[in-house]
Amino acid sequence: MTLRHILLSMNDKRINDNAANEKRQARTVSLQSSAPKDTSATQHNSDAKLPEITSNAEEQRVRDDTSIKSPLPKPATVTHPWLALAFLALSVSLIVVDGTIVNVALPTMIRELHLNFSQAEWITTIYALIFSALLITMGRLADSLGRKTILLIGIVLFVGASILAGASTTSSTLLTARALQGIGGATVLPTTLSTVNSIFQGKQRAIAFAVWGSVISGMAALGPLLGGFLTTYFSWPWIFYINVPLGVIIVIGAIFFVPNTYGEKRGRGLDVDGFLLSSIGLGALVYGLIEGRSLGWWTPTDPDSLLPISLAAIAIMTGTVFLIGFFLWERHRRSYKRSRLVNIELFRIRSFFFGNIAAGAIAIGEFGLLFILPLYLQNVRELSALEAGYVLATMALGAFIAGGLAGPFAQATHPVTVARSGLALEILALIVLGFILDAHTSIFIASAILVVYGFGLGLASAQLTSLVLADIPVQNSGQGSAIQSTVRQIGSALGIAIVATFLAISVNMHTDNSLADLSINPTVARSIEHSVADSAGSSLIALHHGVGDFSAFEPSLRSSMAQALDHGFALGSGQAIIMSTVFIGIGFLATLALPKPQQSLKTTA
């Protein structure tokens, strides 16, 4: 699933943005017709529409920061708007499928490319990391240079990177390709969202977003199945090659049917320094989290190291310093009224502040889970990639069922209640799964639990998005949406870095000395035990089938070894799932701080 709930949420967000824009335009017309000459009355009425802040000074501060100096862009004139929508939806489908298709193929890629655990983490993390770092910047470039222009550049880059990824025979080449895919994905996504919003209006706009969201949802559900099918019946490179014909179709369609729309001007200058500070900070932080297990969390594991502390520790500290510097730099640019990568003043709005904490923490837990499950299903349970895809698709089934119930539930109660209920179901399902998971857990029972988890996900994701953006001033709805999307992408990168690292540590702990009672040379046994975590569990497949060095062991001994190591990997996986649950629990606690329906907006200060 991976990017599924992000894009569903962004779809809901864009509908909210559209409604907010129309509301703003209607308010402007109303003010002009009712009091065209009384500027004080007009100002009073306009102020009444803004969110209430706890003090007049704070109110003016946020209003000054979010004011628009140019009118909202008019809808573009398009000869075939529905054909344009089809190609825009197909464009963003590439991004969705790429995020969901890789996880289920990852165990096969690990075995065939001989990846270690850290490299496996980077295959999925580097895409989300670069995606999140560039998302807001690429949206700004598209507004200035033309969205169709940037879309075409992004598609060509994404397809080229997909060809490179499929042809990769080494981890370094594959990682480079995934990084380029991240750049392409960050280029494509904001252009499609804003273009759809520009070419439709009124009732057609609502229909367009419903169609657009349905296509994305379907592709998200199809991703694990498609990845499993291609990996099982063809080979893993085809999960990337499938992007080539789709990319060609999109480029041809975009050239002929998608208009080149532009956004409004946003202050003076491009925040290059903010981009560099945030990108370096996030990159260094994620690097330290992923490599800490191999490089040492504080003391270097390499006895020949010339440094008193490990590179991982240095990276984490450097990343923290750069991110603090980014925050201070954004405040500095605000004081000079220059354009900024992130409008940090929005975080003074209580619902936005705590909503983004919730969204980020939940993304850490959810994306960490999606790293764990394919490894367990394919390495311990020996399911094929397609069979694992079927199991993962049960989450999409639960989310689909919840999609039809979330709206009536929210109308009968409140979106906050729906979001909390969904998160509670997610937590309950994962706690049960984490504690019952072993080498012989029924796949049917595990799938049933994942349906419940998916149902909770379906309730929580869309409602949480609307809650985060509910009190954002109309003028800043686009910036608020972009920040929320970035927070979710950062959460996905951190989720893989944190939860996957915990998985490796936990698996090492449970496989350590697990072969001590068997008649195996202690040194050899130790090496085999360590290979389980180091290979992300792929050594279990070789052990099950007596491949390579394991062919030297008697079948009965191999069976005993496999039983012990499978048990250790399953226990480690269960504990890592509990760790994912902890982060979702943090997100749940953050929703408790969201304003209640009857409360006025308050700031975090």
Q: What whole-number distance in Å separates Cα of residue 343 and Cα of residue 604?
A: 15
- Give the predicted TM-score (pTM) of the model: 0.77
Residues 6+ apart with CB under 8 A from 113: 168, 169, 170, 171, 174
Arithmetic mean of pLDDT, 421-433: 95
What are the DSSP calls for 77-127, one per residue? P-SSHHHHHHHHHHHHHHHHHHHHHHHHHHHHHHHHHT--HHHHHHHHHHH
Interhelix angle for 4-34 vs 385-412, to 10°? Answer: 30
pLDDT, residue 300, reads 87
What is the distance of C-alpha 454 from the center of its chain?
A: 16
Task: Give the integer Cα–Cα distance in Å for 379 and 544.
Answer: 9
Mean pLDDT in residue range 117-122: 86
How would residue 268 be classed by pLDDT, with cut points 50, 70 and 90?
A: low
Separation of alpha carbons 460 and 424, rounded Å: 9
Q: Residue 178 has what pLDDT?
A: 93
Which tokens hold the place of 290? 């992923």
pLDDT of 603 higher than 90: no
Residue-wise over 446-475: b if at least 16 C-beta within 10 A, else e? bbebbbbbbbbbbbbbbbbbbbbbbbbbbb
Q: How far is CA 101 from the centre of its chain?
A: 14
Give the pLDDT mean for 318-331: 90
Q: Higher pLDDT residue, 110 or 290?
A: 110
The pLDDT, as a whole number, for residue 75 is: 53
- Per the listing, tokens 């490990």 go with 310
Q: What is the pLDDT of residue 217?
A: 60
pLDDT digits (tens, 9 = 90+) for 37-57: 443 333 333 333 334 334 444
Residue pLDDT, tens place only, 496-527 = 888 888 999 999 999 998 998 888 888 998 99
Distance of CA 415 to the CA centre of its chain: 22
Cα–chain-centroid distance for residue 464? 15
Strands (DSSP E) along 125-228, which ranges?
none
**Looking at the predicted structure, is the pLDDT value of residue 23 above 50?**
no
- Residue 66 host element (H or E): helix 56-66
Q: What is the mean pLDDT of residues 421-439?
A: 94
- Ramachandran angles phi, psi of 568, nearest 5°: -65, -40
Interval 117-128 mean pLDDT: 86
Q: State how far the alpha carbon of 467 is from the alpha carbons of 459, 573, 593, in Å.
A: 13, 33, 12
pLDDT band of residue 351 (cuts 50, 70, 90) is confident
What are the φ/ψ torsions at residue 79 (nearest 5 degrees)?
-70, -40
Q: 3-state DSSP call for residue 414? A: coil
Q: What amino acid occupies position 424?
A: A
Q: How confident is the model at residue 24 (pLDDT cuts 50, 70, 90)?
A: very low
What are 453-467's pLDDT values in tens digits? 989 988 887 678 778
- Given a cut of 90, whether residue 271 has pLDDT beyond it is no
Confidence of residue 168 (pLDDT cuts 50, 70, 90): very high
